């Protein structure tokens, strides 16, 4: 006889019995224990063996719900699927889904990604995730995150005026989702559904402060007469002669230089923005500056060790502060030497591709990197010596007439 809601409510276990079963229909029954708990079960046979599927507790699962669950399980059985095994598979999937939160996958991606990055950059990326992204998305299953949810995180960062950080957060999240895709943890990358430019404010292109080419003679003379520390003066001279990035200059080690035979500075890939090696041919003037620096600070492995801690390079603000002291605050930066060099070298007729190579502007893939960093090296040597000679003429106040370089 089929059960009723009243019968379920009044069902009790008989005395001296651990449990008692009250049958409904089609193998469904309510199991009542001596302690008073009531559990819905469904009895069936699979591959010739009798099995029981636990459906849930009464009254949390009503009689009507239990019957629907029985019917669903019966459909699985007709399709050749064991309902008990299907339930176990769902539980496993749910547990995996909970474990594969955005934060857990992001940290796995980070451990994989950080190997080829500088410790400073890798630490910065992790701190930004911890500060801006994990509090919003960290506990969500990564497969459930949608583009609007990701956009909300970026908009929240943008709202405090950090437009660049918002776009970088979006890009980092996109890499994390790609990592999840590669490992079968999700089926779609929500970061590709919307472009940051579709919803975030456009970023104003930052231009480093730099002088006009006509102002270089006065700057060079002021550097020569700089009253600060000799090492700071020499760092500015070397910056002008080599026009490398400030970080590449202050982080230089003596073992990167060959002043005798090759007369070049080989900056390793890990210190370059493009993550490929870079060669800086050294003019006679640059070698003289380096020799003078060695006499002053040659005991350290670093070219420009810090004043207090000789195991760390000098501050990246050292050159900026010196320029400000000379009256160029807000008008010139260390990076500005690169822009001025590019302008003047083009005016002097040097080839654009050679200038760009020496500025390390060109993108390089893994296959061609070993070749590209030495491309046009003889021409670049001539250009760097011509540049140093040109700076000497500017400093001396000689009239310079641009000409087409050979």
**pLDDT tens for residues 351-371?**
888 998 999 875 444 444 444
Mean pLDDT of the region 40-60: 94
Say whether both 324 and 234 belong to one domain.
yes
Segment 311-339, tens digit of pLDDT:
888 888 899 999 999 999 889 988 889 98
pLDDT above 90 (res 388): yes
Say whether both 336 and 361 belong to one domain.
yes
Task: State the CATH number of the domain containing residue 30.
Answer: 3.30.160.390
Report d(CA 282, CA 261) in Å as an integer.
11
Q: 49, 84, 119 — which closes off a domain?
A: 84
Residue 319 lies in a domain: yes
Say whether both 262 and 179 belong to one domain.
no
More confident residue, 140 or 375: 140
Q: Which residue has the tokens 């496993």?
A: 92
Mean pLDDT of the region 141-162: 88
Residue 10 lies in a domain: yes
Say whether both 288 and 169 belong to one domain.
no
Residue 90 lies in a domain: no
Say whether both 222 and 189 belong to one domain.
no
Residue 154 lies in a domain: yes
Mean pLDDT of the region 276-299: 89
Residue 72 lies in a domain: yes
Q: Which two structure tokens, joined as six digits, stand for 31?
A: 């199991």
- Pairs from 155-164 (Cβ < 8 Å, separation ≥ 24): 155/199, 155/200, 156/132, 157/132, 158/200, 158/201, 163/200, 163/201, 163/203, 164/203
Mean pLDDT of the region 87-107: 78
Report d(CA 403, CA 212) in Å as an integer.
19
Q: What percent of the chain has pLDDT over 90?
A: 54
pLDDT level of residue 307 (50, 70, 90 thresholds) = confident
> Helices 377-396 and 216-224 sit at what angle, rounded to 10 degrees?
80
Say whether both 292 and 335 belong to one domain.
yes
Task: State the CATH number of the domain containing residue 167.
Answer: 1.10.150.130
Number of domains present in the structure of the chain: 3
Say whether both 176 and 45 belong to one domain.
no
Say whether both 253 and 371 belong to one domain.
yes
Say whether both 195 and 218 belong to one domain.
no
Say whether both 283 and 392 belong to one domain.
yes
Q: 174, 199, 224 — which closes off a domain?
A: 199
Mean pLDDT of the region 226-253: 93
Q: Give the per-residue pLDDT at 220.
A: 94
Q: Give the per-residue pLDDT at 399.
A: 58
pLDDT level of residue 375 (50, 70, 90 thresholds) = confident
Residue 114 lies in a domain: yes
Contacts of 400 (CB under 8 A, 6+ apart): 390, 393, 394
Q: Give the per-residue pLDDT at 406.
A: 47
Say whether both 231 and 297 belong to one domain.
yes
Question: What amino acid positions are annotated as catalytic residues?
Answer: 245, 273, 335, 338, 361, 371
Mean pLDDT of the region 7-16: 90
Say whether both 12 and 108 belong to one domain.
no
Report d(CA 347, CA 96) in Å as an integer.
62
Q: Give the per-residue pLDDT at 376.
A: 87
Mean of per-residue pLDDT scores for the chain: 87
Q: Give the per-residue pLDDT at 69.
A: 95
pLDDT above 80 (res 92): no
Contact 113, 175 (CB under 8 A): yes
Residue 204 lies in a domain: no
Q: Give the per-residue pLDDT at 368.
A: 43
Q: 56, 84, 112 — which closes off a domain?
A: 84
Range of the domain at 10: 5-84
Residue 140 lies in a domain: yes
pLDDT above 70 (res 293): yes
Q: Give the per-residue pLDDT at 202.
A: 64
Q: Give the per-residue pLDDT at 372.
A: 61
pLDDT level of residue 84 (50, 70, 90 thresholds) = very high
Report phi then psi at 257, rounded to 5: -105, 140
Contacts of 130 (CB under 8 A, 6+ apart): none
Segment 189-238, tens digit of pLDDT:
988 877 766 667 665 554 567 788 899 999 999 999 999 999 999 999 99
């Amino acid at each position: 006889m089929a059960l009723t809601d009243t019968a379920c409510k009044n069902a009790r276990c008989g005395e001296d019995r651990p449990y008692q079963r009250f049958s409904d229909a089609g193998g469904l029954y309510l199991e009542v224990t001596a302690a008073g708990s009531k559990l819905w079960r469904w009895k069936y046979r699979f591959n010739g063996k009798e099995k029981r599927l636990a459906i849930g507790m009464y009254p949390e699962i009503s009689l009507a719900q239990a019957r629907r669950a029985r019917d669903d399980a019966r459909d699985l059985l007709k399709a050749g699927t064991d309902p008990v095994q299907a339930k176990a598979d769902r539980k496993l999937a749910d547990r995996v889904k909970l474990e594969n939160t955005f934060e857990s996958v992001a940290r796995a991606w980070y451990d994989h990604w950080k190997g080829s990055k500088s410790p400073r950059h890798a630490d910065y990326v992790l701190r930004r995730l911890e500060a801006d992204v994990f509090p919003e998305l960290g506990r969500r299953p990564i497969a459930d995150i949608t583009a609007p949810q990701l956009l909300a995180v970026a908009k929240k960062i943008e709202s405090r005026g950090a437009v660049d950080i918002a776009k970088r957060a979006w890009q980092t999240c996109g890499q994390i989702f790609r990592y999840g895709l590669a490992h079968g943890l999700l089926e779609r990358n929500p970061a590709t559904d919307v472009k940051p430019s579709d919803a975030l404010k456009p970023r104003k292109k930052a231009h480093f402060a730099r002088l006009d080419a006509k102002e270089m003679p006065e700057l060079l003379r002021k550097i020569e007469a700089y009253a600060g520390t000799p090492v700071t003066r020499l760092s500015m001279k070397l910056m002008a002669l080599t026009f490398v990035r400030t970080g590449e200059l202050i982080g230089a080690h003596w073992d990167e230089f060959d002043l005798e035979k090759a007369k070049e500075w080989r900056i390793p890939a890990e210190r370059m923005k493009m993550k490929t090696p870079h060669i800086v041919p050294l003019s006679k003037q640059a070698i003289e500056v380096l020799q003078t620096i060695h006499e002053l600070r040659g005991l350290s492995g670093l070219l420009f060790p810090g004043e207090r801690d000789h195991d760390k390079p000098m501050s990246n603000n050292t050159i900026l502060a010196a320029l400000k002291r000379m009256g160029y605050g807000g008008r010139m930066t260390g990076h500005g030497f690169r822009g001025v060099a590019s302008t003047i070298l083009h005016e002097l007729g040097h080839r654009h591709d050679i200038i760009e190579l020496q500025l390390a502007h060109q993108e390089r893939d893994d296959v061609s990197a070993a070749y590209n960093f030495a491309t046009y090296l003889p021409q670049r040597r001539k250009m760097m010596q011509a540049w140093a000679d040109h700076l000497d003429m500017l400093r001396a106040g000689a009239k310079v007439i641009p000409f087409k370089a050979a």
